[in-house]
Structure 1
Amino acid sequence: MKMLKRSLPGRTLLLTAALAVLALTGLAARPAAAEELAKNLFGAKKLPALAAPQSIGFYSKGCFAGGVAIPLDGPKWEVMRPSRNRRWGHPTMIALIEKLSRDAAADGWPGLLVGDISQPRGGPMLSGHASHQIGLDADIWLTPMPDRKLSIEQRENMSATLLVDEKTHLVKDALWVPGHMRLLRRAASYAEVERILVNPGIKKKLCDTVKGDRAWLRKVRPFWGHDYHFHIRIGCQPGSPNCKAQENTAPGDGCDQSLAWWFTEEPWRPNKNPDGPKARDVMTMASLPAACQAVLDGPDPASAEAVTYYGDGVPVAAAPVLTKAPSPARASASGAAALPASVSAFAATPEIGIPLPRPRPGN
């Protein structure tokens, strides 16, 4: 995705000053409270940390700063389960979802129903996902957007369509349409995307039916669940030196013995300890990268609207970062709380060409 550089209007320069203060390279964070469950602390945050965008740690053990929200409604998308407040991500992730909505519409898909992306500051979630912690994961429903605007109540309660038979683990042919394949192929076409997780039955359907170019199937990986949505994962982005990359996918299209394994008994054997605690239920701040404490303590933006990404297809580059921290008066004027002295070791990061929110008139 080509990033176009634009300077941000005057009001956003104050936000840029706050970004410089909270830039996360060279962090010296205060000690974490080991007894705290990280999911409770991150789950309580309603807004992102006002900072230069940066993913910290691994997809299932980390956090992120400088997140932006996708609007609840777009020309070709609607956000589902809005009460969860999981429509936040790294700006590159949000820009990619908006781009996918436009490109998929051009391919004939009615529009995206956007599921969980991340919490405002990432970290372990109160429920659900093990990953989605560093702003680089997003779930997209395999149900097309209706031709009418869904109410908030409908978005909270509407059931998704399950495309896979729970007994055979095969796709229900009556529900599968060519548009599903085109949507997944389009998502896999972006260079930023490293993996797309789908149910093994969906992977098999693609292996059995895709003709011509099959190279994109390498990115589509089978995994438990994912029978009503697919999971997009992008790689670590520039400006995130503490982001831990995942291993590369294996060569080939994945339509081999590794897929056949999913249709044996082994993957579906009952869990020997179904009531055992999940990682999120025992993970404390001490379990996460040290920088996540500063992300947790970082200042809020003025509002969710102030950091909602209205890219309209034109990502905006970060403005030049100031080389010194703003005065307390300017930080207060920007709506950001003064940072504690314990994070004064933040160093300014260089300008990076990644999208930031485009302020709307009056913001």
Structure 2
Amino acid sequence: MIRPILRALALAALPLLAAAPALQAEPLARQLFGAENRPSRQQPSPIGFYSKGCAAGLVQMPESGPTWQAMRLSRNRNWGQPEMVQFLADLSAYATRLGWAGLYIGDISQPRGGPMTGGHASHQIGLDADVWMLPPRRLNLSRAERESISSISVRTEDQRRVNANYTPAHAALLKAAAGDPRVDRIFVAAAVKIEMCRTASRADRAWLQKIRPIAGHNTHFHVRLKCPRGARLCETQSPTVAELSKGGDGCDDTLTWWVTDYLNPPKSTARPDRTSPPPRTARTYTMADLPRQCASVLRSD
């Protein structure tokens, strides 16, 4: 009962807040979207950007399939655009060719996308998904097991190299995902990107540009799909990987930064600017920060 009341009050307040932004009485968007436990009754549509938007008409990835299991079911984050659900089913089927039982799927999106109550800045429009680095040995985990077991890290503690958990099957899986035309980019630990740059064939490296290093991805890799054709409200990632690939495979000095300045940043002499308000983020967005169509996503029953 509380969820519909909170949603109704928040949406009713939107016109007043737009006219008087100084009131700042609007609930946080992550609270509103995090309270929704089912998708909107609308045609599937990603709205806005991956880290600043919402999603209409999402479909639920089944908790278990022939080659996958969704993990952490208590979060209710196994919702995605139809293209994402199909992609994950396809990739999990490919994993069986590598000797795995399939894939363990982590967070995709909330039922209506939007900012999450915790854990992610992106995953807001149903086109992001986390895939565990842990190779499944079986696909009959109970709900309790899916809450208790954890994935594995594939890099060393100093973050500079992959460890013994990283196998040729991981590399083959990532290459297959990067080669899929539906994929825009894949986020991995810097050590994984460095290892792939070292071992990839010199004659076949264009797909490497889609493999992008980023912090916090040692136990899973994060797949981001392109905006589906015809999704006019979806904001394309810029620059696109196609544009980036014109400059090579991403195995350049920029990658070296991840194990030099990133791990041991040079000391800054500049004083922090304490006069400007902190930038808005997924944790502080209100509905006024999101595309206006997100209000109808919340209203839809």
Q: Shorter-normalised TM-score: what interval?
A: 0.7 to 0.9
Note closer, same or farther for the CA distance 1:278–1:141 as it changes in structure 2 (3 Å cut).
farther
The equivalent of 1:167 in structure 2 is 158
User: Does the 8 Å contact 1:137/1:234 carry over to 2?
Assistant: yes
Q: Distance in 2 between matches of 1:254 and 1:79?
A: 31
Residue 78, structure 1, aligned to residue 69, structure 2: yes
The aligned amino acid for 2:298 is L
The 5-angstrom pairing of residues 91-170 of structure 1 reads: 91-147=82-138, 149-170=140-161
Q: Distance in 2 between matches of 1:90 and 1:235?
A: 11
User: Does the 8 Å contact 1:77/1:112 carry over to 2?
Assistant: yes
* Per-residue deviation, residues 222-260 of structure 1 (Å, max 9, x unmatched): 111110100000111133211110111322111111111
Which segment is superposed worse, 101-110 or 253-262? Answer: 101-110
Q: CA deviation at 1:32?
A: 7.8
Higher helix share: 2
Q: Distance in 1 between matches of 2:154 and 2:40?
A: 37
* Per-residue deviation, residues 170-216 of structure 1 (Å, max 9, x unmatched): 111x2121100111011112111010000100001111112242221
The equivalent of 2:258 in structure 1 is 262
Note closer, same or farther for the CA distance 1:113–1:277 as it changes in structure 2 (3 Å cut).
farther
The equivalent of 2:166 in structure 1 is 176
Equivalent of residue 209 in structure 1, options 191, 199, 215: 199
Equivalent of residue 221 in structure 2, options 216, 219, 230: 230
The equivalent of 2:190 in structure 1 is 200
User: Does the 8 Å contact 2:33/2:298 carry over to 1?
Assistant: yes
Q: Distance in 2 between matches of 1:32 and 1:79?
A: 41
User: Does the 8 Å contact 2:51/2:282 carry over to 1?
Assistant: no
User: Does the 8 Å contact 2:130/2:221 carry over to 1?
Assistant: yes
* Per-residue deviation, residues 303-351 of structure 1 (Å, max 9, x unmatched): xxxxxxxxxxxxxxxxxxxxxxxxxxxxxxxxxxxxxxxxxxxxxxxxx
Show structure 2 runs of 5+ residues with no match: 1-13, 18-23
The aligned amino acid for 2:58 is G
Q: Distance in 2 between matches of 1:207 and 1:110?
A: 27
The aligned amino acid for 2:107 is D
Larger RCO: 1 or 2 (CA < 8 Å, sep 6+): 1
Q: Distance in 2 between matches of 1:223 and 1:104?
A: 23
The aligned amino acid for 2:47 is I
Q: Distance in 2 between matches of 1:95 and 1:175?
A: 28
Q: CA deviation at 1:169?
A: 2.6
Residue 279, structure 1, aligned to residue 281, structure 2: yes
The equivalent of 2:10 in structure 1 is none
Question: Which runs of 4 or more aligned residues in structure 1 lie more than 3 Å from their structure 2 counterparts after TM superposition?
Answer: 30-34, 266-273
How high is the sequence identity, in percent, across the aligned residues? 46
Q: Give the 3-state SS of the residue equivalent to 1:205 in structure 2.
A: helix
The 5-angstrom pairing of residues 22-37 of structure 1 reads: 31=15, 35-37=26-28
Q: CA deviation at 1:168?
A: 4.1
Q: Distance in 1 between matches of 2:159 and 2:131?
A: 24
Q: Normalising by the residue count of structure 1, what TM-score does the alignment of the two structures yield?
A: 0.70
Note closer, same or farther for the CA distance 1:209–1:62 as it changes in structure 2 (3 Å cut).
same
Q: Give the 3-state SS of the residue equivalent to 1:99 in structure 2.
A: helix
The equivalent of 1:293 in structure 2 is 295
Note closer, same or farther for the CA distance 1:32–1:295 as it changes in structure 2 (3 Å cut).
farther
Q: Distance in 1 between matches of 2:54 and 2:264?
A: 31
Q: Give the 3-state SS of the residue equivalent to 2:55 in structure 1.
A: strand
Q: Distance in 1 between matches of 2:181 and 2:67?
A: 22
The aligned amino acid for 2:51 is S
Q: Give the 3-state SS of the residue equivalent to 1:263 in structure 2.
A: coil
Q: Distance in 1 between matches of 2:182 and 2:253?
A: 27
